Structure 1
């Protein structure tokens, strides 16, 4: 979240080359002195506004990210926002698709950031929006046709178009004719009035059907406005006999063609490596498919054979799979049940099979590879809006009732070493604990300012000695050393606490909760790595765990390659002939281990 990451004014952090920065005005955060010292009301109110993170600040922290183990950087939208909206720091309310918002810097700052990232071996993925523009025009009052909600100026989707008062000017007034802007009568329209580029100023660019109320009703969620953000008409579709939209029969609109040109421009200018496409659920499959084809071909013409397109596809696994297959996107992000099951498995409130079965082959995918989902699904547990949690939002560590921080190493071990493309939300590596009834509480400032995490002000969080930062860096290094952790098949493993009276069973809820070990294996070629987390934050847990009998046919041991308890690293676990083959491993309280 660019506005919340770095303003470049921190002191006492390590620069990109590893040296300590002595100048700067914001000192490092110190827990005992600085936590929860800000006035709650003023602190919370500040989180709704622009706070000052920018591209140069982010560029100054590439070393921090590299040393953490980051290989790709997904940046929230950088494009120019509606000037009259003081709350669009998030970047999703675009007014000019061809410029960088001045709060963030300049086009050249973006070019410099990407160049710097590439020198550090980090790819850059820009968050882009095709579905909608910002609040660039206003509806006019239409009698009693729609429910009055804020003085009658709140059109709701009803399948028909609403009259438009005009483009908004820089002050938010809808007083410019809703058509191509005439520079003779509106010489000051550039750069803050209406929408740009000019190719988007045709009234037919927008559906003008009012905002979405039912987020799961087709065609409402395709054609309605995303709250105040104005829906763009991508083209016309044809349905089959069962009412499904046919991507092959989709006819593109001039607006979609213009947006393709816009995003080609950013690839050519900034040399970015991929796009994260916002709100794919709300786009016609045919429109997404067209965009993917155009962008892939353009990137390939520049020698970018692996330009990466990940779509925000909310909903379940089946919807994500079908969308990927229809559109040609490389990966899906936003599948609601993945972050839910990951978070609450690590806290002991979900069945392990419920999480691991998300990555099993089935009739759903009909793929021969055991790792199809692992290559096409982005996995994460913290994110910037947490749609799945409704109005009770909270980072993983914001869940004080479940000792979120004490489970943090377990969930990170699960995320980084189970199947999928792992994604880390900024601040998680510093134990950020935002929680509340609004997205702002998930978007604290790494650089402090008026809205620092842990209810602090004017203290930055770029602490490379933080125990969670060090844990992430260590586990990512482990992942890079062992191909099985990024490419391997995956199996939830049976375990047994006591060989004599017990029997091997998959880990499962007991009286509604798991307090103990959850083990799984990653297998690649002739190598098996045995991983495990402990959902009990008070006690270590040991158990016999099933491993692959063919790979371990001869007597031997497994070695602890990594543990959240450093003293355990290098210790041996005996392998015995039981339940095929089994090894006895130990997992520290609230911790993570890897044996191989």
Structure 2
């Protein structure tokens, strides 16, 4: 256990002084070229799996946890007692480690991941089950249930050696539950409430909260498992002390005052600078700044990018399912008036986009992954179409761990038990809380349909600059070349092809998904008249699903009625295609 207690400790100051202006390791020049992968360290890997492939692609057989098969579905819910134990396991630390994560760098590399975004690794309150990592009690040490400082350094070094960047999730606006109020658990009303004291190592509020640091001579056991560290955070002025502002875990945790948060931000040395709803930027603008105010957050703060949760994720989730109009998503990336940037391409590297995440704030209390409630036979194809949209539209794409294995994030065997955060935080390594209501089975299967197809799309994205940096256009479609328009919902659901182009340096790439999960669909689609005049062609470079009508080459024709350059294409049910 580290003995560092202050940010003025020589070990901390030496790191700060050595760090370059932009961080400890050079950030990529263009974040839109990257593919991020987010995981919670407790839920990813414990290193005890068998049958997965190491960084060299060699099969590892020394572990004890076998790979999941379809026969293992619901193996943790065979009876009520078993199901209750599975649910209980999901609310606690399951056992993932930094060493386990390091052992899966090959799995991530072959998927096409270029950046691993690791949930908070800082020391949590020892007596609490804040497995997600956001209940930090010591900001200067690694959570021992995850590993050691040396293991964290080794993980980062190993990732860099294979060409993978590492982003460490940091929390700048709140701590864990580290003190008690006199009134128990007051609800926010704008007032400052009296504090009884910091929790000690036995979870008693016996350590006074004063105007200065804790008297370590009077309370020698305060370190390492009591109160909060570093000691600079211990004065009562550090905290708002205004009670709970909501039902979510980060809103009930003690919030730092603005001045203290700025002090921490000045000392942050890790790159890059991202923000989510837990960051200082979100704290000083709006609690929904990374949701419905994503673009304003980036503009106001000067951060590299904001995580597009809220409206961005909601429309990215619903569009491939045919539950909202495609323009609801694509319209978010147009050149809004408040940006004054002159081109919507400015947004290509300012928003991190992802289908699933560990909070899903836009769904309220109805938590579930993208694949929940879908027909198990359809889910892997539909999530592939969604990820195709995620990877091939504007933004910095991010894969949430398990999405590449089509996790459903549901709590009941009939996919109706849902709502709690834990259901969208399954353990990739199985343990007591594996995906699909399983236990004791891991999911590092590089032969699964969704993993293989994700990897193919990531590789195409890597090769095609237009898919990473190109301008973006949602295309008009027509079923008979007589009526043109953007696809829209008719009734309860849109069952149609949705097509868009990415254009860069005279190259147009046409992408399309089919929101109809049962029927193949054929439409005419507009393409760029100047780049693709009548008689030119586009070749198929990717297709998911099987189709007898899928064309390897599309010939561009001129629509006499509208003067458009158009192609006629077919997309399989829940399919995704790319033409160049």
Which TM-score band applies after superposition, normalised by the shorter structure?
0.7 to 0.9
Matches within 5 A, 1:38-57: 38=77, 39-57=82-100
Give 1:570 deviation, angstroms. Answer: 7.7
User: d(CA) in 2 for partners of 1:256 and 1:492?
Assistant: 41
User: d(CA) in 2 for partners of 1:555 and 1:55?
Assistant: 55
Would you say 1:324 and 2:305 are equivalent positions?
no
Give 1:185 deviation, angstroms. Answer: 1.6
User: d(CA) in 1 for partners of 2:251 and 2:300?
Assistant: 27
Deviations along 1:357-390, one digit per CA (max 9) or x if unpaired, are: 1111131321122312222111111000111111
Check the 8 A contact 2:67/2:444 in 1, yes or no: yes
Check the 8 A contact 1:349/1:513 in 2, yes or no: yes
Q: Which residue of 1 aligns with 2:291?
A: 315
Check the 8 A contact 1:127/1:276 in 2, yes or no: no
User: d(CA) in 2 for partners of 1:457 and 1:233?
Assistant: 42
Q: Which residue of 2 aligns with 1:472?
A: 454
Give 1:486 deviation, angstroms. Answer: 0.7
User: d(CA) in 2 for partners of 1:560 and 1:566?
Assistant: 14
Q: Which has the higher contact order (CA 8 A, sep 6+)?
A: 2
Q: Which residue of 2 aligns with 1:256?
A: 262
User: d(CA) in 2 for partners of 1:570 and 1:35?
Assistant: 40
Q: Which residue of 2 aligns with 1:279?
A: 278
Structure 1 residues not aligned, in runs of 5+: 142-152, 216-224, 236-252, 289-310
Give 1:399 deviation, angstroms. Answer: 2.6
User: d(CA) in 2 for partners of 1:165 and 1:258?
Assistant: 25
Give 1:466 deviation, angstroms. Answer: 0.6
Q: Which residue of 2 aligns with 1:571?
A: 552
Q: Which residue of 1 aligns with 2:423?
A: 441
Deviations along 1:459-491, one digit per CA (max 9) or x if unpaired, are: 000000010001110001111111110100111
Q: Which residue of 2 aligns with 1:185?
A: 218
Would you say 1:371 and 2:327 are equivalent positions?
no
Q: Which residue of 1 aligns with 2:442?
A: 460
Q: Secondary structure at the match of 2:123?
A: strand
2:399 to 414, 424, 437: 424
Matches within 5 A, 1:189-228: 189-213=222-246, 226-228=250-252
Q: Which residue of 2 aligns with 1:156?
A: 187
User: d(CA) in 2 for partners of 1:259 and 1:137?
Assistant: 23
Check the 8 A contact 1:212/1:226 in 2, yes or no: no
Would you say 1:352 and 2:326 are equivalent positions?
yes
Deviations along 1:264-312, one digit per CA (max 9) or x if unpaired, are: 3xx4xxxx65555552465225xx9xxxxxxxxxxxxxxxxxxxxxx98
User: d(CA) in 2 for partners of 1:4 and 1:539?
Assistant: 37
Check the 8 A contact 1:575/1:583 in 2, yes or no: yes
Would you say 1:555 and 2:535 are equivalent positions?
yes
Would you say 1:123 and 2:165 are equivalent positions?
yes
Check the 8 A contact 1:444/1:451 in 2, yes or no: yes
Give 1:21 deviation, angstroms. Answer: 0.2
User: d(CA) in 2 for partners of 1:122 and 1:313?
Assistant: 28
515-524 or 361-370: which moved more? 361-370
User: d(CA) in 2 for partners of 1:585 and 1:105?
Assistant: 52
453-462 or 490-499: which moved more? 490-499
Give 1:33 deviation, angstroms. Answer: 3.9
Give 1:405 deviation, angstroms. Answer: 4.1
Structure 2 residues not aligned, in runs of 5+: 1-39, 411-417
User: d(CA) in 2 for partners of 1:21 and 1:91?
Assistant: 29
Check the 8 A contact 1:560/1:572 in 2, yes or no: yes
TM-score, structure 2 length as denominator? 0.86
Q: Which residue of 2 aligns with 1:70?
A: 113
